A and B are shown apart, each in its own frame.
Chain A
Amino acid sequence: MSDPALGLTMLALIVVVIMMGFPTAFTLMGLGMFFGFFALHDASQSWTQNHVFDLMVQRTYGAMTNDTLISIPLFVLMGYVMERGALVDKMFYSVQLAFRRVPASLAVATLVICTFWGIASGLVGAVVVLMGVIAFNPMLKAGYDVRLASGVITAGGTLGILIPPSVMIIVYAAVAGQSVVKLYASAMFPGFFLALLYLIYIVGWALINPKIAPRLPESETKVPVPAWVSRLQQAYSRNMLLTLLRAVVSPARALQIEADGVRVGYGMLLKNLLAAVFPLVLTAAMSWLVWWYVVIHQQATVELDTPAPAAVAQKALPPAANEPPNVAADKVEELGRDQQSAPAASSSDEELQQIGSPELLKGGPATPAEQGPDTSFYIWFWISVGGVFALLAYYYWRLEADQFEILKLLTSSVMPLGILTIVVLAVILFGITTATESAAVGAAGAYLLAIQAGTLDWKRVKESVFLTAKTTAMVCWLFVGSALFSAVFALLGGQQLVEHWVLSFELSPVQFMILSQAIIFVLGWPLEWTEIIVIFVPIFLPLLKHFNIDPILWGTLVFVNLQAAFLSPPVAMSAFYLKGVSPPHVTLNQIFAGMMPYMVVIILCMVMMYVWPGMTLWLPNYLYGGG
């Protein structure tokens, strides 16, 4: 048998053995070992000196020193701590109250919580079960359509694997040699866009046919207002902001209030005032951050650039470049030794350029972010700031006791988690620290938040640590196995054969795009995302160059695609999770029927992403420049 034929046998075998259900990491290792042993067999040496052993240990060591994978345990830890620290049912309750005047408010609240949870962690099963208990029964009780209720939970639950910081994106970055940060930036848009499309779909359906989502009765949406707040309102004014401000300035009347055994103290007033002005502070801080990043930070960098480029290179490097250049050099060396195929060499060149040399990065054309803002930015910035502050003014004007109670609930349940994730993502995206550093700070922050929320105990610390260890080991051992497997596959020339074969069809880029996404979609039925990204995606990657397809865009499409695959009946796991917690009268078919429209929405989203790639690539290009 010729070498390339051996390579193809290897590929066929891996598919068969994976379907047999053996742990994939060891399948890859074993197959790689066998085929590598024959490929590298040299009759002049004893078999114990076969080079496959060197290859194996080198590839393993490569995975152990991989500077992209290192952020996996940190992000995973952050997720596990957050999902233990956050109070999901309280979040759901407060969000649902906040949206109580929106059509299909319970479904909207479910979607919001799922999106939030998606930011925190990427576990599909747990979120579907949890939302099934917290939200499904209330929705059914309120008379919601079963399909609407089940669809929103299953579709919302799978969002978690897409929305950054997601482990899937890191693994893809490591496989494709792309920057994690760029992929995060490009996945931001589809993640939240998809959530928005779901939202439009739910609200639109509820508006067209109000019967499917009846409004909750007044008694269920009534916000409990503590007696002392009402008394305070009577003493000062109806508007809570004015009330609290005046109470803080002249507390004499407030301090006399005593209701239901609660004695109003000055500290209490201050605390409530802080909660009341929280949205204002948050909006101001966000606007200032955008202003600082676009105007002040960039101009300071540009000014510094001329006299002392070295200093700037230190400061303005995109995160991936903070790693020592030698790591990249090492990697190139290693790849060069292990793989003789052309695509590997070219991809390692790219990697070198991307990671290794600040000079190259600075030498290229300045990113749009570095060129400084043009006038349209100022116009848009002030219009949006004006709009947001007008909304806030309206909100404060209408702020009465029940609104204020909702605000307090929101600030105590949703805000801490929200702020932590926004900070972690912003710090990564703005290139202030590397993804690894942000992940570590995020994990530490998650612990602090959990302590502050009073939900952290020794048992949970232990659980989060052990779960992190298991998940990391699962992903990284898979990576060790596939590193050996793909090296041997390329060595045998299997990769080249596949390439020639695909190229012989003379597909147009659109056809190739559709074909590759369709294959991945089908693979998504029986397999988990880890196996797809680590084993099958690398086969497509070298082909992207022939078709002039941006690996960032293609990768982002894969992430969205897998969402659809995980929602397709009859293999979607989330449907079975939901069925497990739902009352007996809900049938599996009803759940599947509920999921179908969301698949259509996802495919719509993919078409839009392909037709207007600018939507996906705008953020990464804006922040880090084209290419």
Chain B
Amino acid sequence: MKVQRFLLLVDHVSTWCGKASAWLIILLTAAVCIEVFKRYLLNAPTAWSFDADYMIYGTLFMMCGAYTLAQDAHVRGDFLYSSMKPRMQAGLDLVLYVVFFLPGIAALSYAGWDFAHASWLINEHVNDTADGPPVYQFKTVIPIAGTLVLLQGLAEIVRCVVCLRTGEWPKRLKDVEEIDVVEEQLAHSEYVDEESRKRALESVHEIDDAARQRSSTMGAER
């Protein structure tokens, strides 16, 4: 199935870029910790450290936008949405992707391109501090991230179309979810009885989905 392959390919691109950038958080933690050590203990602060920190942070979250979209992890008001049928969801999403998402993100990529381009032309540096670090590479993140999100958005639109035709949402890549911590905790537990542990481990994802839809059908079935 060609469409599914296209979808997963785009998902892979977004996810790979996102996951690669995600590791910046470790760099950020380390950079701030080192700076704390230098400033408070050695009394030798670094002038450009704050600039470096926000550049790492900004790159981190911008580059993860497409990854988050690929995982459908952007917050939505899913109170009504989650109780709709997939076709209805897809229809609504399709319209809103075309009306709001495409113009908004296209504008961001376009404006970001100009913004970054101007910065490269003047070889812009941070002017808060003397000898500030360059910012043009940081500003370039905006058009790159915008384009990635746009690409992922196109994939989402294709998803909506597929769903409208088949009545079912195409699969996404598997990734870690917040609720997974339950499995981690229970896998090592010593004081929980075996039966309830097994039951919880089996159904934790369904519980998560059911709770988001505010439905208790899960429990009634058992």
Contacts and interface: CB of A to CB of B under 8 A. Distances in A.
Contact of B19 (A87, A330, A466, A582): A466
A89 interface: yes
A256 B132 CA distance: 68
Contacts of A388: none
B21 interface: yes
Contacts of B127: 326
Nearest to A77: B25
A30 B200 contact: no
A433 interface: yes
A582 B76 contact: no
Contacts of B71: 470
B1 interface: no
Given A23-B74, A437-B36, A473 B181 contact: no
A323 interface: yes
Interface in B172-196: 175-182, 184-186, 188-193, 196
A29 B104 contact: yes
B141 to A, nearest CB: 8
A54 B108 CA distance: 9
Interface residues on B, range: 35 or more
Given A126-B182, A570-B214, A21 B73 contact: no
A444 B128 contact: no
Contact of A90 (B82, B97, B112, B191): B191
A488 to B, nearest CB: 12
A550 interface: no
B100 A30 contact: yes
A472 B95 CA distance: 27
B60 interface: yes
Contacts, number: 312
Interface residues on A, range: 35 or more
B92 A473 contact: no
A21 B82 contact: yes
Contacts of A87: 185, 188-189
Contacts of A129: 179, 182, 200, 204, 207-208
B25 A468 contact: yes
Given A17-B100, A129-B182, A584 B36 contact: no
A397 interface: no
Contacts of B190: 89-90, 93
Given A60-B112, A436-B53, A23 B192 contact: no
A60 B61 CA distance: 11
Contacts of B92: 20-22
A467 interface: yes
Interface in B66-106: 67-69, 71, 73-82, 84, 89, 92-93, 96-97, 99-101, 103-105
Given A56-B107, A477-B61, A20 B178 contact: no
A591 B216 CA distance: 12
Contact of A324 (B35, B129, B139): B129
A27 interface: yes
Interface of A: 17-27, 29-34, 52-54, 56-57, 60-61, 63-67, 69-70, 73-74, 77, 80, 83-84, 87-90, 92-93, 123, 125-126, 129-130, 132-134, 137, 323-324, 326-327, 330, 432-433, 436-437, 439-441, 443-444, 455, 460, 462-463, 465-474, 476-478, 481, 525-528, 530-531, 570-571, 573-574, 576-577, 579-582, 584, 588
5 cross-chain pairs, A with B, having the tightest CB-CB distances, nearest first: A21-B81, A30-B100, A580-B207, A64-B58, A469-B22
22 contacts: A22-B97, A24-B75, A30-B96, A31-B100, A33-B107, A73-B28, A83-B181, A83-B185, A90-B190, A123-B178, A125-B211, A129-B204, A323-B50, A436-B32, A440-B36, A463-B180, A474-B68, A526-B77, A579-B216, A579-B219, A581-B199, A584-B220
Given A65-B58, A125-B211, A129-B200, 5 more contacts: A23-B74, A30-B103, A83-B181, A472-B25, A477-B74
